[in-house]
Chains A and B, each alone.
Chain A
Amino acid sequence: MRLRPAIIVMTLAVAGSSWAEAQEPRLVGRLPADARLHVDAILDSARSLGLPIEPLVDRALEGASKQASGERIVTAVRRLAGELQIARDALGSRSTSNEVTAGASALRAGATGDDLARLRRLRTDRSLAIAAAVLADLVAVGVPADTAVAAVLALAEFAQDAEYLALRDNVERDVALGASPISALGVRVEANAPQGDFGATSSRPPARKP
């Protein structure tokens, strides 16, 4: 699975010869000319693969607004295209653009394509966008990726989007109050971290005369 992005990038690079047929108007005047040519080629290839285009255009515009170099913008768009491809393959061709985009974020947070495929199987009739995004949020707050994946999957069959968001909010609040991320995720209620008497301070020399 790890090799897929490279393969996809190569595919995107060589399959963009017809870029001129599908220039993205929103990029005109926003990106350096060279970069726009490359991004248009990636967009055209992605389009042919059935990937959502919006997140790729958005990523290019984000780079332009942040005054990134053209090379860096192209690299970012190409990387995202690879992630979208993996996410779309895992989630299925019927997945919405939001789901695929959220899936790409989850991949970057540490989930695998297999994780996303399993999430799809467990939530066949419900959107995955919030669940996948919450997974990325949990990892960002410090929950190990495998634990965050396990938690999101555990709720997948019955949880509504609001419940995922509540889970995320509770974990963040618990961690803000001092709970370890995994502890906060486990109890899903406001809690305080165990604060047993753990002895001496790190980087403080031990007691006794030298």
Chain B
Amino acid sequence: MICRWPVVTATAVGLFTLAVPLSAQTTASLELGGSIVQYDGFLSSGAVYGTPMLRLDGRAYSVAVQGSYLLFESGNRILQGTTAGAWLTPRLGPVRGELSASAGVTGYEDYPSYGHVLGRGKLHLIGEGIGAWVAGATGSSFFGSIWDAATELSLGAWAASPEFGGGVTLTHSRLLDTTFTDVVAGGRWRTAVGELDGSLGIRTSAVGSGGGVYGDIGARFRLSSRFAILASGGRYPADPVRGVLAASYASLGLRFDFVPTRRTPLASLSTALSRVVPAAADRGGSAAAALTLQPSSGGFALLQVSAPGAARVEVMGEFTDWEPLTLARTRPGTFEILLRLAPGSYRLNVRLDGGPWIVPTGARAEADDFGQTVGIVLVQ
């Protein structure tokens, strides 16, 4: 078991050495927390954990290393490490290819270690807010000194907007004479303060791995640019390829980002959900209203707000001396006003039916100097 760790460590270091970019975006974090976990066939147990993670995202690749140390109330410990890298091909129309590899090892007391080494090819079909993919993976899974061939075939489809996302995946896995097929549906809702996600899966056509329904929910709330609270719970299935036992769990953790970020914290490494639903941008705008600003002739610009269900829409901003201005309703759910605006950026807020002032989708939301948010739009 011990002899596996240098292999994984060398792989991780090698990936980073090869891929450390001049202009990569680095995500480095440490998550500390506690869990209550009940593995199938065992009593539930409390545990504390620490999870360091380092991830680099470059122009067309991602490289990540994650470790995990878990100390159970019994005093037993688990040490786990995973490293992965992915490279995206140049895009050809709506199609893009992806090659990736991952390796992981789990050590538990004096037992032989579990682990896996997998290579994967993936073909993405990408549209405007929607996408689909098909993938195949092959490699080996080991338990102690015994190595077995493993294969996975999967396909998925997703749709996403900055606020909402959802999708479904179908994965067929094989390890020796153990085969199983998983269908997983997932969804995500992102707000200005955090993110909720959930997934629900069913294992069918199982031979030698058990079946059933599973799922979990998670919430991530950012406290500051460096700290976030993460909570999750549910049930996940056995994964013979990676040596994962089925379990039910509840976890609460605090994550510290070494590189400050304004964005909702991503899961440390990709999850079942993120394989279903890609992460989406958070401009911070409200989904209740969408704003567009179209240049018009004579130095004018047409400000249009789409707010289905609203009877009245007002805007206030630098171009109204911050006095509310009611937009004309041109058709149900659509409101417009023609403004004389020189090229530049403008601050504004929008109000629907006399409610609170919000930042509509289509404007960049940023904290103002008054404890609220303001939208920024550009006029060409």
Contacts and interface: CB of A to CB of B under 8 A. Distances in A.
Given A207-B106, A207-B247, A199 B84 contact: yes
Nearest to A62: B322
B364 A180 contact: no
Interface in A120-161: 127, 129-130, 133-134, 136-137, 140-144, 147, 150, 161
B135 to A, nearest CB: 9
8 contacts: A62-B318, A130-B378, A162-B380, A180-B62, A183-B62, A194-B98, A202-B268, A206-B78
B253 to A, nearest CB: 5
Given A161-B343, A187-B60, A201 B271 contact: yes
Interface string A179-195: 01111001101111111
A26 interface: yes
B366 to A, nearest CB: 6
A63 B318 CA distance: 11
Given A178-B160, A207-B244, A195 B122 contact: yes
A66 B368 contact: yes
A101 B344 CA distance: 9
Nearest to A127: B343
Contact of A98 (B108, B344, B357): B344
A178 B59 contact: no
Contact of B374 (A62, A141, A176): A62
Contacts, number: 293
A150 B126 contact: no
Counting contact residues on chain A (CB < 8 A from B), the size range is: 35 or more
Contact of A161 (B245, B316, B380): B380
Interface string B93-106: 00010101110101
Interface string B254-292: 000000011100011111101100111101100000000
Interface in B324-380: 342-345, 347, 357, 364-366, 368-372, 374, 376, 378, 380
Interface residues of B, number: 117
B25 A144 contact: yes
B331 to A, nearest CB: 25
Interface of A: 26, 54-55, 58-59, 61-66, 68, 72-73, 75-76, 79-80, 98, 101-102, 105, 127, 129-130, 133-134, 136-137, 140-144, 147, 150, 161-162, 165, 168, 172-173, 175-178, 180-183, 186-187, 189-210
Contact of B39 (A68, A196, A208): A208
Contact of B378 (A75, A165, A190, A207): A165
Contacts of A129: 343-345
- Enumerate the 5 nearest inter-chain pairs by beta-carbon distance, A residue then B residue, closest first: A178-B278, A196-B100, A196-B86, A186-B59, A194-B86
